[in-house]
Amino acid sequence: MKTLTLLRHAKSSWDDPVARDFDRALNKRGIRGARLMGEYIRREGLDYDHIISSPAVRCTETLDHLYEGLGRTFHPNWDRRVYLASCVTLLDVVNEAPDSAAHILMCGHNPGLEDLILLLVPDVAGDILRDAVEEKLPTAALATLQFDVDHWADVKSNSGRFMRLKRPRDLDPGLGPDIDG
pLDDT digits (tens, 9 = 90+) for 98-137: 999 999 999 999 999 999 999 999 999 999 999 999 999 9
pLDDT digits (tens, 9 = 90+) for 127-165: 999 999 999 999 999 999 999 999 999 999 999 999 999
80 is in an annotated binding site: no
- Which residues, in sequence order, are CB contacts of 31 under 8 Å at separation 6+? 10, 61, 65
Q: How far apart are CA 116 and CA 91, in angstroms?
A: 7
* Helix ranges, 49-159 (H): 57-70, 87-95, 112-120, 128-135
CATH topology for the 2-174 domain: Rossmann fold (3.40.50)
Say what the pLDDT of residue 180 is. Answer: 42
pTM: 0.94
Q: How far apart are CA 153 and CA 131, in angstroms?
A: 26
pLDDT digits (tens, 9 = 90+) for 28-82: 999 999 999 999 999 999 999 999 999 999 999 999 999 999 999 989 999 999 9
